[in-house]
Amino acid sequence: MKYTRWYDKDKNLQALMHVLEALSDEAKLEVTAEILQLLMQNYSPNTDELIEELDDQYVPIRRRWYDKFENLHSAIEILRITDVEDRKEIIEEIFRTIIELLEEYKHSKDLRE
């Protein structure tokens, strides 16, 4: 029996997760900060309710690649419980953020060479 992860049900979300996993740890942390800021500012009007919902769904065993960083784990969990329509917009924003970040890295690398 093949196990389907929650994010494998949406091709864009699945692609995002693969891209996030492939990023360096430093890039993951930068993108995570942007994801959390985006989620909290635009999609989570009631932060207390969000925290309660995350606490209710606490998973004590953390073996997944994104569990390595607490903030990334939280961002992914918030994304998981976000409304499907909002999630589509968020994924687009996250991809834009990743592209901007990669362009900044390329630019700074070009300046050093």
Q: SS3 sequence, 6-30? A: HHHHCHHHHHHHHHHHHCCHHHHHH
> How is residue 81 written in tokens?
């419980």
Provide the residue ranges of all domains of the chain, joining segments of one domain with +: 6-112
Q: Give the pTM.
A: 0.76
End-to-end CA distance of the chain: 50
Return per-residue pLDDT of the chain as tens, 113 residues. Answer: 577 888 999 999 999 999 999 998 988 998 999 888 888 887 666 666 666 666 556 555 667 888 888 889 888 888 888 888 889 999 999 999 899 988 888 877 777 76
Distance in angstroms (rounded) separating the CA atoms of residues 70 and 76: 10
Contact (CB, 8 A) for 35 and 73: no
